[in-house]
Amino acid sequence: MTRLRLALRLARVIVHLLAGLATCALVFPWASSGLRDAATRRWSRRLLAICNVRVESASGAPALEHALFVANHISWLDIFVLNSLHPCRFVAKAEIRSWPVLGWLASAAGTVFIARGNRRELRHIFKGIVAVLEQGERVAFFPEGTVGQQGSVLPFHANLFEAAIDAKVALQPCALAYLDANGGWHRGVDYMGEVTFVDSLLTILKGAPVRARVACLAPLEGSGAHRRELAQAAQDAIQAALLGTAEGQTVG
Residue 123 lies in a domain: yes
Overall number of domains in the chain:
1
Residues 149-161: tens digit of each pLDDT: 888 899 999 989 9
Return the CATH number at 111: 3.40.1010.10
For residue 66, give every residue at least 6 positions away whose Cβ sits within 8 Å of its Cβ, in sequence order, or none. 133, 136, 137, 138, 169, 170
Residue 251 lies in a domain: no
Question: What's the whole-model pTM score?
Answer: 0.89
Can you state the angle between helices 33-50 and 77-85, rounded to 10 degrees? Answer: 130
Q: Which domain holds residue 22?
A: 3-246
Model confidence band, residue 33 (pLDDT cutoffs 50, 70, 90): confident
Which residues are registered as beta bridge partners of 178? Answer: 212
Residue 252 lies in a domain: no
Residue 64 lies in a domain: yes
CA pair distance 180, 78, nearest whole angstrom: 16
| pLDDT (0 to 100) of residue 113 | 80
Residues 2-15: tens digit of each pLDDT: 888 999 999 999 99
**Of 40-54, 97-111, 135-149, 154-168, minimum mean pLDDT range:** 97-111
Residues 128-139: tens digit of each pLDDT: 889 889 988 899
Neighbours of 37 (CB within 10 A): 17
Half-sphere exposure of residue 243: CA atoms within 13 angstroms, side-chain side: 7
